Amino acid sequence: MRLFYSFCILVYTAATVSAQMAAVEVLTPFDFATNFRDVYVDNSGNGWAVGTCGVLASTQNNGQDWELGTSPEGLDFDVVVCKPGTACQTVFLGKDDQVFRSTNGGQNWTEIPVSCDGPRGFNFVDDQVIVLTHSNESLFRSTNSGDTWTEIPLEYSHRGEAHFPTTTIGYIFQQSGGPLLKSTDAGATWDSIYQFDANAYYGDWVDENIGFLYDQNSHIFKTINGGSNWTLVTDTGVPTNIRHIVALSETELLAYVFPNSIFRSTDGGVTWVNNTTIGTGQYGLRFEGIHNNGNDFWIASWGTEILYSTDGLETATSQFPALRPNFEAVAFPTNEIGYALQERIGMFKTIDGGDTWTQLTNDFFTVSRDFLVLDEETVIIPYNSSGPQITEDGGQTWEALFPEAIQDTTYVFHIEQLPGGRLYLFGSVHGAYSDDGGDTWNVIYHGFGTFPRSMVFLDDQNGVVGSDGGKILATTNGGASWELVVDGDFTNQPISNLFVLDNGTIVNNSSGTTRCSSDGGQTWDTDTCAGLSAPGAILQGPDGTWYSGRLFPSQEDLLTNIQRSTDEGQSWESIAGFCTYAIPGTVTPDGRYLYVYQSAGFLGRVDLENIVGTDEVPHSAISQAKVYPNPTSGLLLVDLPQNAGTAQAALYDLHGRQVQQQTENTTSLTLDLSALPNGMYLLKVQGDGWLQSARVIVSGE
């Protein structure tokens, strides 16, 4: 698939950010990143897709090619829909409290005065009537193609969008204990026609009489008389956490199951089968919007992905094809050489400081969660069912780490090197260690049968392992034996981010709470942390600075998710963010780059030399520079702070290329952007000890 860039989307900081934000760079799988939120393609093959970081993409050939641009005002929209019969020249975008419309294929946008709270979807009942559902106890209706809207109160809130199988008959499933609503006048009025025993979550209609429903108890119901009566289809074998149902016919049903599964039923919802071919080989995708024209389907997903199917989701292909491994860890033994571990297919390697990455492949297509880089050529990966493998030539060749007698029977997942040099590997039922660099090994059986997620050693004797189910195991003899010290006492989530302070305190953040242990992991509480907190897993840089980030931040927090602390967790400041969720992985030995990673093939870096910390800002605080008009069709004015001194303004396109620069010792700057292509740019304004940045939109007439 070809990508056409009206202006390429890279990751950028928020519209106006404080002096602590840094420039960021996406390395893989593309030179931009987004979480696609919704997609719509009409019968003519024209369509649109929206994503995080203001991504707005358009297609004229069913998504074989996408042209990437920026949404109105750089906003992140949740839903996109085209008015039927317009070849997607008339398109609506919706987000919390804002709706935009274009009637000329996205050349110009107008904000529509309708204040919807979390839009669910637009229903074009006929050429003039539009019904807009949102996450509140009402809906909005327009009778003039969206120019003006009337709010229609409802007694209950609803989880999904309305369904209009005809131009006059519509249905709404209520999620908060309310009845099924039916309209016979194109959505102008609604009547209660059926009261369900449990909350009605999601459903679809084959026609005005035949419909299906999935309720909060994971039951499937069917009606054949327009919703007046419902019959239980099945209450067994139905997948939980269904978020969307499509009824292709009275017998063929499709269900999206959070986060990335498609289930099919060919007997009217009686039995369900997971179609594991959808998204195969792409790890960490999370489906968001699903749209179909009959058997043609498009799935908007996290990880810069749109999946396309022409056979009712029996199969699907990528419209943004790329290698999307699930990254598990990153390490740089030198400033130039780095490794990024992939869950099943080996690892990436760079020899030029992260500018380019090469895929290192091997035959061990089994789960790997951790690795150890001993030097720039020596790497150990503990695979679960293939046994640990070692390379001593930078990944060109691999061989078994364990002797043949234990290689195929000792399954291990995590590896650490203790301060005294002992190599220790830990698995679900075994541990293994070597004190002579791997020449001989001692295997111990602990038998806990739990999947390890993290492991740390305080010294050569005391260590802790965190695992699934909120379990913590501890050793006091260098791993010769282990005991279960925490068994889901404060969370049932995996203990996946253990960190040891210099004083021996162990830190863990689970379920949004930071807990600490000062007795080798035997007991845990928040008081022991002495004010320390962390958003997620803690990474320590060469200079002692801490870095952290939430594993699953909200959409609003993506661009500020990467945080740092210079006082060992007493306070945190946002330094960067990405258009998809990401967590810190490693800092290069020279302290220049922070590498971040996540699933769906995302790998990025932060240039730490471009961060200006709060302690570097002069005590006579610099007030924010003002940038206007924004958007601009030509001239951009920058009002500088009174005490700014000599200031330099630099404008970058979203590839990171500098397109303009100006230095002045005045209170204002004027940049002429009229010669630049329409699109979004990143403006940096900096002076002695301060730096500010903002998004600038060029929108020529």
User: Average pLDDT of the chain?
Assistant: 88
Report how far apart the first and last C-alpha atoms of the chain are (Å, whole number): 31
- CATH architecture of structural domain 197-274: Beta Barrel (2.40)
Number of separate helices (H) and strands (E) present in the chain = 1, 63
- Mean pLDDT across the stretch 216-227? 97
Structural tokens at position 295: 């058997």
Angle (CA) 614 620 621, round 5°: 45
User: Would the pLDDT of 552 be above 50?
Assistant: yes
Q: Which residue in 328, 324, 408 sits closest to 368, CA to CA?
A: 328
User: In the chain, what are the domain boundaries?
Assistant: 197-274, 626-698
- Mean pLDDT across the stretch 605-613? 76
> What is the C-alpha separation between 184 and 417, in angstroms, rounded?
70
pLDDT for the residue 684: 75
Higher-scoring residue by pLDDT: 554, 395: 395
Q: How many CA atoms lie within 13 A of 121 on its CB side?
A: 18
> Residues for the chain: how many in total?
701
Q: Which residue in 422, 423, 350 sits closest to 381, CA to CA?
A: 423
Higher-scoring residue by pLDDT: 584, 639: 584
Note the pLDDT tens digit of each residue in 621-653.
334 567 788 778 888 888 876 666 778 888 876
Dihedral (CA of 79, 656, 351, 321) sign: positive
Count of Cβ atoms closer than 10 Å to residue 336 Cβ: 15
Q: Which residues are within 8 A (CB) of 414 and not within 5 positions of it... i.e. 6 or more apart?
A: 369, 370, 382, 425, 426, 452, 453, 454, 455, 465
pLDDT for the residue 282: 82
Domain 626-698, CATH class in plain words: mainly beta
Note the pLDDT tens digit of each residue in 152-179.
999 888 888 899 999 999 999 988 888 9
User: Would the pLDDT of 4 be above 70?
Assistant: no
pLDDT for the residue 623: 47
Same CATH topology for 197-274 and 626-698: the answer is no
Confidence category of residue 595, pLDDT binned at 50, 70, 90: very high
Count of Cβ atoms closer than 10 Å to residue 475 Cβ: 24
- Mean pLDDT across the stretch 543-563? 85
> What is the C-alpha separation between 359 and 345, in angstroms, rounded?
9
Confidence category of residue 5, pLDDT binned at 50, 70, 90: very low
SS3 405: helix
> What is the C-alpha separation between 494 and 536, in angstroms, rounded?
13
**Cβ contact 17:693 at 8 Å:** yes
Structural tokens at position 307: 């999946």
pLDDT for the residue 43: 94
Higher-scoring residue by pLDDT: 673, 267: 267
Count of Cβ atoms closer than 10 Å to residue 162 Cβ: 22
Q: What backbone torsions phi and psi does residue 162 show, to the nearest 5 degrees?
A: -70, 160
- Mean pLDDT across the stretch 533-538? 92
Residue 254: C-alpha distances to residues 207, 261, 309 (Å): 16, 11, 13
> What is the C-alpha separation between 446 and 463, in angstroms, rounded?
14
Note the pLDDT tens digit of each residue in 259-294.
999 999 999 999 999 999 998 878 878 999 999 999
Looking at residue 179, what DSSP letter applies? P
pLDDT for the residue 594: 96
pLDDT for the residue 622: 36
User: Would the pLDDT of 232 be above 50?
Assistant: yes
Kindly give the residue spans of alpha helices, DSSP state H, lying in 402-542. Answer: 404-407
- Mean pLDDT across the stretch 24-46? 89
Looking at residue 422, what DSSP letter applies? -
Structural tokens at position 613: 């910390």
pLDDT for the residue 160: 84
Angle (CA) 614 616 618, round 5°: 95
Lowest average pLDDT, out of 49-63, 126-140, 460-474, 568-582, goes to 568-582
User: Would the pLDDT of 522 be above 50?
Assistant: yes
The strand pair at 626-628 and 603-607 is best described as unpaired
Query: Per residue in 38-58, is it b (16+ CB within 10 Å) or e — as a string?
Result: bbbbbeebbbbbbbbbbbbbb
Looking at residue 163, what DSSP letter applies? B
Lowest average pLDDT, out of 92-96, 527-531, 658-662, 692-696, goes to 692-696
pLDDT for the residue 690: 63
Order of all β-strands in the sheet with 471-475: 452-457, 463-467, 471-475, 483-487
Note the pLDDT tens digit of each residue in 78-92.
999 999 999 999 999
**Which range has highest mean pLDDT (2-11, 279-288, 564-573)?**
564-573
- Mean pLDDT across the stretch 533-560? 88
Whether the ω angle into residue 29 lies within 30 degrees of 0, i.e. cis, is yes
> What is the C-alpha separation between 47 and 688, in angstroms, rounded?
47
Confidence category of residue 15, pLDDT binned at 50, 70, 90: very low
